[in-house]
Structure 1
Amino acid sequence: MPVILGPNRYGKAETRVVRVVRDGGVHHIKDINVSSALSGDMADVHLTGSNEAVLPTDTQKNTAFAFARKHGIGQIEDFALLLARHYVGSQPTIGHARVEIEEYGWRRIPVSGGPSEPRHSFVRDGQEVRTCVVHHDEDGRTTVVSGLKDLVVLNSTGSEFHGYIEDEYTTLKPTTDRILATAVSAQWRHSGESHDFGASYDFGTSYDEVRRCLLEAFAGTHSLSLQQTLYAMGRRVLDTREEVCEIRFAMPNKHHFLVDLAPFGLDNDNEVYYAADRPYGLIEGAVLRDDAPDAAFAWE
């Protein structure tokens, strides 16, 4: 039976780039994690060991650092587009570039003493991480998927769970009042074409507005299941943001169990809970426009 080389790609994973912009005594920080993966005419490197078509992964690392200095780092989607277009446009053997970036937020620590005081101290801005994945190929096709992960949210009431299948192994009791908590991971695909993702495309505003929609829908949905909440969040984004054509979620159910305080002679009217970290339910799903253009590789 013949053996052939299948799909393949290679790249540099998790290059941590920190760019400090000094505006007098006021400093600004961009802290990102860049991963690039390239594919194209790479058969010989696998079959014969010839590296003639290979742009070293170390070069990809250096390119991320050099571009941070030459071009600065604005919105992470724009920086990813810059890198992806560079790799495909500068190397004839590279037909497709995938660039993934995570951004870690920093918030300036306020100082007293007036505007002349140096402002160069920061604290990490929570555990939420902004993300993006950009694909660009030699035919000019481009997809941009923005996202976030570890956005931890909780409703202390307004959530029910009942009417589910019960069999001989079911011990979970139905409830009409429970805590609903999750750590949202969401990725949304922009509906523009390659030429639309230029300097005028405002990824920053888009991100802020999608995040606002997610939080408002989570808070405003009386939930009968986390699946229902997931759909409500996705629909709010698509009803509000025309630049988004599809959004995908992974939402673990961060279970909170009511503690039985009867052995201590105490009641517990939905006040004291045990927060369990595992095992947990994991709810995943996508919400998309029925006319959303197909771009399967956008999620790879």
Structure 2
Amino acid sequence: MGIVLGDNQYGKAEVRVVRLDRDGERHAVTDLNVSTTLSGDLADTHLTGANDKVLATDTQKNTVFAFARDGIGEIEDFGLRLARHFVATQPSIHRARVAIERFPWARLDVGGVPAAHSFARSAEGTRLAVVHHDGERSWVTGGIRDLTVLNSTDSEFWGFPRDRYTTLAETKDRILATAVAASWRFGRTEDVDWAGAYTTARAALLTAFADTYSYSLQQTLYAMGARVLEHVPEIVEVRLSLPNKHHFLSDLSAFGLDNPDEVYYAADRPYGLIEGTVLRDDAPEPGLAWS
């Protein structure tokens, strides 16, 4: 029986870089978490310990900071610059993956006027981008996570199978809440308005969640993914992960109180986890986009 080396990769995880763009007294904050992953002709270092083909992870970190000095811009473009650089400059590296999280900061309001250089972390959700490049082709996915939303009504759940272990009561009116984690695959990497695509996709997710009368979270998931595809033509596939953030009506009868659907217990765990993909029927193959 022989033993061989399988797929392998290495890189620098979670490089925290913050860039300040100063336009006179008015500043802008770009706050990123960047992870780089490289793969290629690296068998020697695994089998013999030779490091002559290994670009040090510290160098990868330094490259992130050096590229940020020239400006970050849209995170998809920043990821493409980095991934193409690593493959183009290192003969042993055949494929690069750059994953970026952009943390949201909002300007503070000072007397009704947006502050020039004061910010607070925002709850609008964390913007995501993952870029792959193999020397010939590039793939880009965008996305968002930590986008917590709630509908206080217009949600039902009934008609599900019942067996000896089923205790859940059917309901024609419930709170529906989730923390949206969505990623979307772009069909191309050239001539894309990355910021516009993100803004429109995020708005589509929120609008579909708000105006869908939901009989199941699965139905809402499909409506959200379809709405993104309808409004952003550059996106060909949407993947969604929606934890069902359960809210249970609190029983106040022990205190001689009624509870007319007003007081709830927000459960932490366990929770239902609904996941799915919505895509165009003519979507091109994803290549490396989801790996």
Provide TM-score, normalisation by structure 1.
Answer: 0.94
| Superposed displacement of residue 111, structure 1 | 3.1
Give the match for residue 151 of structure 2.
155
What is the CA–CA distance in structure 1 between the aligned matches of 2:83 and 2:66, rounded to whole Å?
14
Give the match for residue 162 of structure 2.
166
Q: How does 1:75-86 map to 2 (within 5 A)?
A: 75-86=74-85
| Superposed displacement of residue 265, structure 1 | 2.5
What is the CA–CA distance in structure 1 between the aligned matches of 2:124 and 2:35, rounded to whole Å?
20
Give the match for residue 292 of structure 1.
283
| Superposed displacement of residue 266, structure 1 | 2.3
Contact kept, 8 Å, 1:214 with 1:237, in 2: the verdict is yes
**Identity percentage of aligned residues:** 61
What is the CA–CA distance in structure 1 between the aligned matches of 2:258 and 2:14, rounded to whole Å?
50
Give the match for residue 10 of structure 1.
10
Q: How does 1:59-74 map to 2 (within 5 A)?
A: 59-70=59-70, 72-74=71-73
SS, match of residue 232 in structure 1: helix
Deviation readout 1:81-118 (Å, 9 max, x if unpaired): 11001111111111000000000111122335989xx8
What is the CA–CA distance in structure 1 between the aligned matches of 2:168 and 2:161, rounded to whole Å?
11
How many residues are aligned here? 291
Give the match for residue 122 of structure 1.
119
Residues 112 and 258 of structure 1: is their aligned pair in 2 closer, same or farther, counting only changes over 3 Å? closer
Give the match for residue 179 of structure 1.
175
5+ residue gaps, structure 1, are none
Give the match for residue 144 of structure 1.
140
What is the CA–CA distance in structure 2 between the aligned matches of 1:85 and 1:79, rounded to whole Å?
10
Query: In the alignment, is residue 110 of structure 1 matched against residue 109 of structure 2?
Result: yes
When structure 1 is superposed on structure 2, of 276-285 and 176-185 the one drifting more is 276-285
Query: In the alignment, is residue 237 of structure 1 matched against residue 228 of structure 2?
Result: yes
What is the CA–CA distance in structure 1 between the aligned matches of 2:107 and 2:250, rounded to whole Å?
40
Contact kept, 8 Å, 1:11 with 1:60, in 2: the verdict is yes
What is the CA–CA distance in structure 2 between the aligned matches of 1:18 and 1:234, rounded to whole Å?
31
Contact kept, 8 Å, 1:111 with 1:119, in 2: the verdict is no
2:58 corresponds to which letter in structure 1?
Answer: D
Q: How does 1:13-52 map to 2 (within 5 A)?
A: 13-52=13-52
| Superposed displacement of residue 121, structure 1 | 1.4
Deviation readout 1:268-287 (Å, 9 max, x if unpaired): 22111110011111111111
1:247 corresponds to which letter in structure 2?
Answer: V
2:77 corresponds to which letter in structure 1?
Answer: D
Computed over aligned residues only, the root mean square deviation of the Cα atoms, in angstroms, reads: 1.5
Give the match for residue 87 of structure 2.
88
What is the CA–CA distance in structure 2 between the aligned matches of 1:112 and 1:282, rounded to whole Å?
42
What is the CA–CA distance in structure 2 between the aligned matches of 1:287 and 1:31, rounded to whole Å?
30
Query: In the alignment, is residue 224 of structure 1 matched against residue 223 of structure 2?
Result: no
Give the match for residue 198 of structure 2.
207
Contact kept, 8 Å, 2:217 with 2:274, in 1: the verdict is yes
Provide TM-score, normalisation by structure 2.
Answer: 0.97
Which of 130, 135, 138 is 1:133 aligned to? 130
1:77 corresponds to which letter in structure 2?
Answer: E
5+ residue gaps, structure 2, are none
What is the CA–CA distance in structure 2 between the aligned matches of 1:94 and 1:114, rounded to whole Å?
49
| Superposed displacement of residue 153, structure 1 | 0.3
Give the match for residue 58 of structure 1.
58
Residues 63 and 232 of structure 1: is their aligned pair in 2 closer, same or farther, counting only changes over 3 Å? same
What is the CA–CA distance in structure 2 between the aligned matches of 1:154 and 1:219, rounded to whole Å?
8
